[in-house]
């Protein structure tokens, strides 16, 4: 991994490597897992597979053993909780999810709660119920939890106050009409997701755009906040953009 920047963690959404296959791995990694090699390049990963299926605790524990001590895992909350009609969910299933991902131990980063565009301000009561349940399942506050909205109606004071009440953060992202403002609740962290310049998981960001965000990140770090950044333009230049951003931030802090 490049030089550590205190409080700053970055990675890709899903396990993306800068080489096509194991033949291109450095010699010391050719007999090891893809995650082990990834952990030598980056210090965090956003696990997307947990959105589609809750993993086994033994698998999560195995992942934790394949990366360095300073590495951090972020898990995307299971879609059976966030994507049901009218946000109907089973609190026991949420509890099972939280228990399983906690097998990652001290390498925990965030729980990412991504809502579909169909979740809007009309679902305020259901949102409140889910946020309360999230906090109940993590009563000791071991996890940082960030919410990604995909509809503009949710960026209002009442929702920001709700997030603040439960100690949740808001994802800053650039996905279509649901893209969020730079400021959310006053938390001790910031969480950024880059979905591609066109919001379609493709393409590459210009250095000018990344330099602007690097300035924000450097400022947040100077305020003592932790900053997590993930590139989701995985059909584009996610890895190259990540390296450029880290270099720009490193020059500013």
| pTM exceeds cut of 0.85 | yes
Q: Are 95 and 136 in contact, with CB atoms under 8 Å apart?
A: no
Residue 100 and residue 104: Cα distance in Å, rounded? 8
Q: What pLDDT does residue 21 have?
A: 86
* Structural domain contains residue 3: no
CATH number, domain at 53?
3.20.20.410
The number of folded domains in the chain is 1
Largest pairwise CA distance in the chain = 55
What is the torsion angle, in degrees rounded to the nearest 10, for the CA atoms of residue 63, residue 141, residue 98 and residue 67?
0
* Sequence-ordered list of residues with C-beta below 8 angstroms from that of 139, at least 6 positions apart, any chain: none
Classify burial at 239, counting beta carbons within 10 Å of its beta carbon; exposed 0-12, middle 13-18, buried 19 or more: buried
CA-derived radius of gyration, the chain: 18
Q: Could you tell me if residue 229 is left (phi over 0), alpha (psi between -120 and 50 degrees) or otherwise beta?
A: beta
Q: What pLDDT does residue 231 have?
A: 97
Q: Which two tokens stand for residue 129?
A: 């119920």
* Sequence-ordered list of residues with C-beta below 8 angstroms from that of 70, at least 6 positions apart, any chain: 4, 43
Q: What pLDDT does residue 184 have?
A: 77
What is the torsion angle, in degrees rounded to the nearest 10, for the CA atoms of residue 236, residue 27, residue 104 and residue 183?
-30
* Structural domain contains residue 51: yes
pLDDT one-digit tens code per residue, 60-91: 999 999 999 999 999 999 999 999 999 999 99
* Structural domain contains residue 174: yes
* Structural domain contains residue 2: no
* Structural domain contains residue 1: no
Range of the structural domain that residue 156 is part of: 8-251
Which residues, given as ranges, of the chain have pLDDT below 50? none
User: C-alpha distances in angstroms, 231 versus 116, 216, 222?
Assistant: 19, 16, 22
């Amino acid at each position: 991994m490049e030089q550590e920047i205190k409080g700053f963690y970055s990675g890709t959404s899903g396990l993306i490597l800068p080489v096509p296959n194991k033949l291109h791995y450095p010699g010391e990694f050719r007999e090891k897992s893809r995650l082990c090699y990834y952990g030598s390049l980056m210090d965090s990963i956003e696990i997307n597979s947990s959105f589609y299926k809750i993993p086994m605790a033994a698998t999560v524990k195995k992942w934790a053993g394949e990366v360095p001590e300073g590495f951090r895992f972020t898990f995307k909350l299971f879609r059976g909780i966030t994507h049901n009609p009218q946000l109907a969910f089973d609190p026991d299933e949420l509890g099972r999810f939280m228990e399983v991902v906690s097998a990652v131990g001290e390498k925990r980063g965030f729980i990412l709660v991504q809502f579909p565009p169909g979740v809007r301000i009309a679902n305020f009561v259901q949102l409140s119920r889910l946020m309360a349940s999230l906090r109940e399942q993590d009563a000791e506050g071991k996890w940082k939890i960030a919410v990604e909205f995909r509809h503009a109606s949710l960026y209002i004071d009442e929702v920001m106050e709700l997030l603040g009440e439960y100690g949740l953060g808001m994802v800053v992202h650039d996905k279509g009409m649901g893209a969020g403002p730079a400021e959310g609740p006053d938390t001790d962290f910031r969480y950024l997701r880059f979905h591609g310049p066109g919001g379609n998981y493709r393409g590459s960001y210009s250095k000018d755009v990344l330099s602007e965000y690097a300035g924000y990140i450097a400022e947040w770090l100077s305020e003592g906040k932790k900053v997590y950044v993930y590139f989701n333009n995985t059909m584009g230049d996610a890895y190259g953009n990540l390296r450029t951003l880290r270099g720009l931030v490193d020059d500013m802090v």
